[in-house]
Chains A and B, each alone.
Chain A
Amino acid sequence: MNAGSEAPILFAGIAAVLVVATLAGWLLRRRFGRTATIENLEARVRAWWVMVGLIAGAFVLGHVGVIVLFALASFAALREFVTLTPTRRGDHWALAVAFFLVLPLQYWLVGIEWYGLYAIFIPVYVFLLLPIVAALRGDTTRFMARVAELQWGLMICVFCVSHVPALLTLPIPGFEGRHLLLVAFLVLVVQASDVLQYVWGKLLGRRKIAPALSPSKTVEGFVGGIASATALGAAMWWITPFAPWQAALMALVVTLMGFFGGLVMSAIKRDRGVKDWGRMIEGHGGMLDRLDSVIFAAPVFFHLTRYWWTV
């Protein structure tokens, strides 16, 4: 399955942006020396090269490659989530079921394009199964909280993330063979929005939006980031089945969901007393730190596209 003639152009464009970012980092280091901010910037750019390389590699491998890539991302995310969750010995079976049964099954269902089941498997069946498994171990301490935390971890890390590769299963008339570009559109708009919010916040940021949750989020960063990411989404309409104004609206919705997703995940980190979910990606924290905005945007983008553009 190829992604149409647009994919090479798209990746060449991304590579050009990263080349500019790499050069900028190099010039800044020559000009100002090794400060912590510049080192962090360079670490982020390096990590971006790796991430773009992984996604490009998955695209070359086609649908299976993309599904496996996001399944691995789900695995890393769930591992971070559960590590920060105070589980008990009595949760062991439930955790093993979540990692080794629920996660692969969800991605297998996406792979065989069984929409009727993968859309309800975790919210309905796993929701009922996990408390049963946990109850069989007989540990009632904080039972409801433990079951809820694990269920929420699966919703966030597996169910929501799996809606990114699920975009490949949507039957959109006239868009056959180009589904991978829909994945690229979602990931690019959401990630660009994160970067642009950061940049606008650094340049103009004055008024904090939610100081108790995330001291770096400002009104100026929010408005500038959302507006410029929406413009970027509109400018990428040519890789989507959307008209330019529709692409802009879609970009607006996913960047807003992404923003609030980041806020929610920050609230959890505050609650657990940590700054990052993990240290998997140099300069970015863990997998969940990078995915938090995609997680909240993916199911909404999936359903909007499915409702209005599929047959």
Chain B
Amino acid sequence: MSGIIGHIAATLVTGLARAVTGVRGDWRDAAADPDGPPRIYFANHASHGDFVLVWTVLPRSLRRRTRPVAGADYWNAGPIRRFFGQRVFQAVLIDRRPEMRSGDPLAPLADAIGQGQSLILFPEGTRNLTEERLLPFKSGLYHLARMRPEALPVPVWIENLNRVMPKGELVPVPLLCTVTFGAPLPVAEGEDKNAYLARARAAMLALAPGTEAQS
């Protein structure tokens, strides 16, 4: 029963996202293959709606097995967020407070991939509210890709969602958004953390349309 409600809620959320932003997926990579290996979609993070948008443009069959990685402190706060986090988006929650962790914080992510699921994660770690296009990356993406070499990391760029609902605004402005998926970017033989993260960051920025005076 709750599965059906979660399903209906998911359809409503993606339908709403489509109506407001007319969002379109731009696949530079054949990553929409439902039978392919798990993906680690890593994207820029400027808005609470970011993973919803990525999720919305995924084909339905892929969406069912693609789970956003999100902060446990946010998604466990209150019954409504818990409902959406667990039943609708089936988020993989990680605790962002190091002092509260027991064990490897990446373990639940690696487990999900082990079960054939794909992940959406934001290597900046938090929403980017600055004028910079990207904040420095956290190292989780690199470690996860090393732990699960069978999963393909795919760079993703979400365009315009920060203009739809800038921080502190109550009403969204309906602008067209695009989610661009790049070619998979596996960790190379013997590549170290900083080299890989620099490459991942460049691959994401390469998907962004030309810089404009926007904020």
Contact: A99 with B173, CB < 8 Å? Answer: yes
- Measured in the bound complex, the distance between the Cα atoms of B214 and A87 in whole Å is 6
Contact: B166 with A79, CB < 8 Å? Answer: no
Given A92-B169, A100-B171, A280-B22, also A83-B210 (CB < 8 A) = no
Contact: B174 with A79, CB < 8 Å? Answer: yes
- Report how many A-B pairs have Cβ atoms within 8 Å: 37
- Measured in the bound complex, the distance between the Cα atoms of B165 and A96 in whole Å is 10
By a CB distance below 8 angstroms, the chain B residues around A88 are 213-215
By a CB distance below 8 angstroms, the chain B residues around A31 are none
- The yes or no answer to A95 lying at the interface (CB within 8 A) is yes
Given A87-B163, A96-B171, A99-B174, also A79-B215 (CB < 8 A) = no
Given A83-B160, A278-B22, also A92-B173 (CB < 8 A) = yes
Contact: A79 with B22, CB < 8 Å? Answer: yes
Report the minimal beta-carbon distance from B53 to chain A, rounded to whole angstroms. 15
- Measured in the bound complex, the distance between the Cα atoms of B160 and A83 in whole Å is 8
Which A252-293 residues sit within 8 Å CB-CB of chain B?
A: 273, 278-280
Contact: B171 with A79, CB < 8 Å? Answer: no
By a CB distance below 8 angstroms, the chain B residues around A30 are none
Interface of B, helix, strand, loop or mixed by DSSP = loop
- Measured in the bound complex, the distance between the Cα atoms of B170 and A96 in whole Å is 10
- Measured in the bound complex, the distance between the Cα atoms of B214 and A278 in whole Å is 19
- The yes or no answer to A80 lying at the interface (CB within 8 A) is yes
Question: Could you say which of B166, B169, B175 has the most chain A C-beta atoms within 10 Å of its C-beta?
Answer: B175
By a CB distance below 8 angstroms, the chain A residues around B160 are 83
Contact: A86 with B214, CB < 8 Å? Answer: yes
Contact: B210 with A89, CB < 8 Å? Answer: no
- Measured in the bound complex, the distance between the Cα atoms of B212 and A88 in whole Å is 10
- Measured in the bound complex, the distance between the Cα atoms of B169 and A96 in whole Å is 10
By a CB distance below 8 angstroms, the chain A residues around B169 are 92
Where the two chains meet, the residues of B that have a C-beta atom closer than 8 Å to any C-beta of A are 22, 24, 160, 163, 166, 169, 171, 173-176, 210, 212-215
